Chains A and B, each alone.
Chain A
Amino acid sequence: MQAFAALVDALVYTRSRDAKIRLIADYLRATPDPDRGWALAALAGTLSIATVKASAIRAMAEERFDPLLFRMSRDYVGDTAETVALMWPDNPARTSPPSVAEVIDLLNATSRARAPSVLAELMDRLDADGRYALLKLATGGMRVGISARLAKTAFAQSFGLSVDDVEEVWHALRPPYAELFAWGEGRADRPNLANSAFFRPFMLAHPLEDSVVDLSEFAAEWKWDGIRIQIAATGGETRLFSRGGDEVTAAFPEIAAAFSGVGVVDGELLVRGDVQGGEAASFNALQQRLGRKTVTAAMQAEYPVFVRLYDILFDGAEDMRGLEWTHRRDRLERFVAGLDPVRFDLSALIEARDFDHLAELRGAARETAIEGVMLKRRDAPYLAGRKVGLWYKWKREPLVADCVMMYAQRGSGKRSSYYSDYTFGCWGEDGTLLPVGKAYSGFSDTELKWLDRFVRTNTVARFGPVREVEKSLVLEVAFDAVHESKRHKSGIAMRFPRISRLRRDKPAEEADKVATLKAMIG
């Protein structure tokens, strides 16, 4: 546990991404199984201990400490786990500190009612840093500025593997990832994953920007404004995954139930809207269904969902990803024909004579659920991540960019108590975020409340009235134009930027680059 505590502490105080990767990689190489596997899960956000909830920590604290002194301390520190770790008296008769694995085993073996006393016994065996790491481990949320992708990258680097290869098997494995480490150390083959329904990394698109493509080489289809979803079905079980690989089956049970095929397909989850005459509704309608652990029958009826399919990764057990898009498309068309048309349809191809004609069709598209056009190379295989020259997204006006929130300030007037003014940035050449603009409109009051809470709970530094936040929230920003600006470090400024959408589903590292915005200067 001390090694893990030292890692957690070092990560808290390290800002550079490369340095964080090195710290994690060193730990993973030096630590035995299964400790390192549990630690990796904690960092990647895949560790969950059912018996310990945040309330267990509070219950444990209130039993030990005067409630008033605890509250004053909690208010000052701003983090319950850290407050308890610091207030907890050092046990002079402290014996051997527990290993990470011992902590996990003990907590998994207990009941929710007994968990606070089990935790308390563990606290007595640790110093302040160890207690902090223990409470963070037990409750999930590490909050050390590590994304799942970064944790996987660190694992891959520790053992000289490619992160894409790790990504491919990651979602089929469970903590403490013994098979993964065995493979990494060359003690075993890559894990065999037949007969399990798990997530495969999505193929992603680059913005088209000013390029022109030849439609004999590229197929065009609409870019639908829903959420990207993957359906994996073995015949025995069917699971749904969001863009980041999180399982969302429970939020859309009607989709999983209706899926009768075997294989893995890629598509866009949309709500069928009445105003659209049964066509796809706006993203806002879909938002009603997002972020729910379970869903009522009433919600299912009010916001009926369906999946518009783009691609097929596996047809039965056959891996289609190495085949050209043209072949996959043929297979997909046959595959969709066998599915329930109420829940599944095919993303139609756009018939355009040439690129200019396509631009005309794109300009004329008025459906709210159309976000633009996708261009896919006809001879391209299905590859994880974003590979140059294969897929392009060509978004419709207004200009939009996915930016990362960097700073927030309180608004004025009716928003005076809320953090409602946001400075956001895009990625520079050297991998750092550079501010590209500031916006204080475009969101609903409900979204404002959520944003305000996000700012308060993710503050990493304060500069007078300005709060710097954890760089984890992607904001889709709409704007009329981009122009050069000497006032900003990024060299650009936006005209009339507004928040068009909160992209809570999108990892920060996939936000747009400054170069992308520069290319929009017109």
Chain B
Amino acid sequence: MWIDPSQAVARALVTHGHADHARSGHGTVWATPETLAIMALRYGTEMGTPVPYGDGFEANGVKISFHPAGHVLGSAQILLEHAGERVIVTGDYKRRHDPTCAAFEPVACDVLITEATFGLPVFNHPPIEDEIAKLLDTRAAHPDGCVVVGAYALGKAQRVIAELRRAGYDAPIYIHGAMQKMCDLYEAHGVPLGELIPATGLAKGELRGGIVVAPPSALNDRWARRLPEPVTAMASGWMRVRQRARQRNVELPLVISDHADWNELTETLLELRPSETWITHGRTDALGRWCELHQLKARALDLVGREDEDEG
């Protein structure tokens, strides 16, 4: 039995629906009902056993249960219990409020296997309200154009839309065709996103003064040429670093991340105080160094093929 295996296996536990965690072709998948729904949408019908948050089952004498990770809809931490020892695999997680998914739940454990995507002290994500305000200000300043926001199709896009609604923005939001089904899925799971209109096929005039949400890959693509005088925004934790934003030709960087930032990573370690921490996914060296400075036992767990910055 594997957790988030990168190749097809007979029996897989999947933390959440992003492609680098949820591959297709596994024999049997255990995941939350939401994650299974996402995998079914992406890969067609997939055999799976739904495990709701808090529920558990036993395999090979190990008790396995799923707990909210706060990353995207359906994302889970996986708790493994055997002979009184508890191991948590966080998967990707964040501690900030997110109206589109269940909030992270701290689970006491002996061994914590943590992600470290933003495991450098330069990553301190600002409050999302500030970033949404920037987006709305820019939109207001460009009544003749539009703002196109690059956001990963699963999670980030819906969160940006939901946060715009929370900030009182109730105009229709235009979305790239590739996002329609995922947005429908979120709505079906009780996440209201307001009025969404496919941006494709609309005359330029209709998009003036609007906000368009599209996958990052569409920003520099031919698709974006149909937009009226677009200001290119990108919602990602990587936008914190100016050169990163410039390298991607971003004019309005929005530091919005679905991953824990440096403070969330370190505060979670202090809160849970596991007797051992394994660090994976990202800057294992820096978080390892921090653990050393705080007398926490830690080691790096190197995995291959785990970098997809669009997900930041």
Contact = CB atoms under 8 A, between A and B. Distances in A.
A90 B252 CA distance: 22
B241 A72 contact: no
A86 B289 contact: no
A461 B290 contact: no
B246 A78 contact: no
B300 to A, nearest CB: 13
B251 A13 contact: yes
Interface string A67-81: 011001100111100
A14 B232 CA distance: 11
A391 B242 CA distance: 43
A82 interface: yes
A60 B215 CA distance: 40
| Contact residues on A (Cβ < 8 Å of other chain), bracket | 20 to 34
Interface string B117-151: 00011111010000000000000000000000000
A83 interface: yes
A212 to B, nearest CB: 46
Given A13-B251, A73-B120, A82 B242 contact: yes
Interface string A52-78: 000000000000011011001100111
A132 B242 CA distance: 10
Contact of A68 (B248, B283, B289): B289
Given A72-B120, A87-B122, A13 B250 contact: yes
B10 interface: no
B41 to A, nearest CB: 33
Nearest to B283: A72
A77 B245 contact: no
Given A13-B252, A68-B289, A73 B122 contact: yes
B120 A12 contact: no
Given A12-B242, A69-B286, A76 B122 contact: yes
A128 interface: yes
Contacts of A17: none
A76 B246 contact: no
B312 interface: no
Contacts of A65: 121
B289 A72 contact: yes
B293 interface: yes
A82 B120 CA distance: 13
A79 to B, nearest CB: 7
A114 interface: no
A349 interface: no
Q: Counting chain A CB atoms within 10 Å of each CB, which of B121, B123, B126, B283 scores highest?
A: B121
B124 A79 contact: no
B121 A12 contact: no
A22 interface: no
Contact of A87 (B121, B243, B290): B121
B213 to A, nearest CB: 19
Given A76-B120, A90-B124, A82 B241 contact: yes
A12 B243 CA distance: 9
B251 A14 contact: yes
B240 A69 contact: no
A462 interface: yes
Interface in B246-281: 246-253
A90 B126 CA distance: 10
B285 interface: yes
A77 B239 CA distance: 11
Contacts of A132: 242
Contact of B293 (A12, A14, A66, A76): A66
A86 B285 contact: no
A430 B214 CA distance: 30
B207 to A, nearest CB: 21
| Contact residues on B (Cβ < 8 Å of other chain), bracket | 20 to 34
B286 A72 contact: yes
Given A68-B289, A462-B247, A128 B283 contact: no
A460 interface: yes
Nearest to A90: B124
Nearest to B290: A69
B110 to A, nearest CB: 26
Contacts of A14: 251
B150 to A, nearest CB: 14
A55 B154 CA distance: 44
Nearest to B253: A13
Contact of B243 (A66, A68, A77): A77
Contacts of B251: 13-14
Given A14-B251, A66-B293, A73-B122, A79 B243 contact: yes
B250 A461 contact: no
Contact of A78 (B243, B250, B283, B293): B243
A150 B252 CA distance: 23
A66 B251 CA distance: 33
A461 B285 contact: no
Interface string B290-302: 1001000000000
A86 B286 CA distance: 15
Interface in B184-213: none
Contacts of B246: 12-13, 460-461
Contacts of B290: 66, 69
Contacts of B245: 12-13
A83 B251 CA distance: 21
A157 to B, nearest CB: 20
Nearest to B123: A86
A158 B247 CA distance: 30
Contacts of A13: 245-246, 250-253
Contacts of B123: 86
Nearest to A82: B242
A66 B285 CA distance: 13
A55 B242 CA distance: 22
B90 to A, nearest CB: 21
A446 B246 CA distance: 30
B227 to A, nearest CB: 17
B239 to A, nearest CB: 10
Nearest to A65: B121
Nearest to A463: B247
A78 B247 CA distance: 13
Given A77-B243, A459-B243, A461-B249, 6 more contacts: A69-B289, A72-B286, A77-B241, A78-B243, A83-B122, A128-B124
Interface of B: 120-124, 126, 240-243, 245-253, 283, 285-286, 289-290, 293
A-B interface, 4 closest residue pairs, ranked by CB to CB distance from nearest:
A86-B122, A461-B247, A87-B121, A72-B286
23 contacts: A9-B242, A12-B246, A13-B246, A13-B251, A13-B253, A65-B121, A66-B290, A69-B120, A69-B121, A72-B285, A72-B286, A73-B120, A73-B121, A76-B122, A76-B283, A78-B243, A79-B242, A82-B241, A82-B243, A83-B122, A86-B122, A86-B123, A461-B247
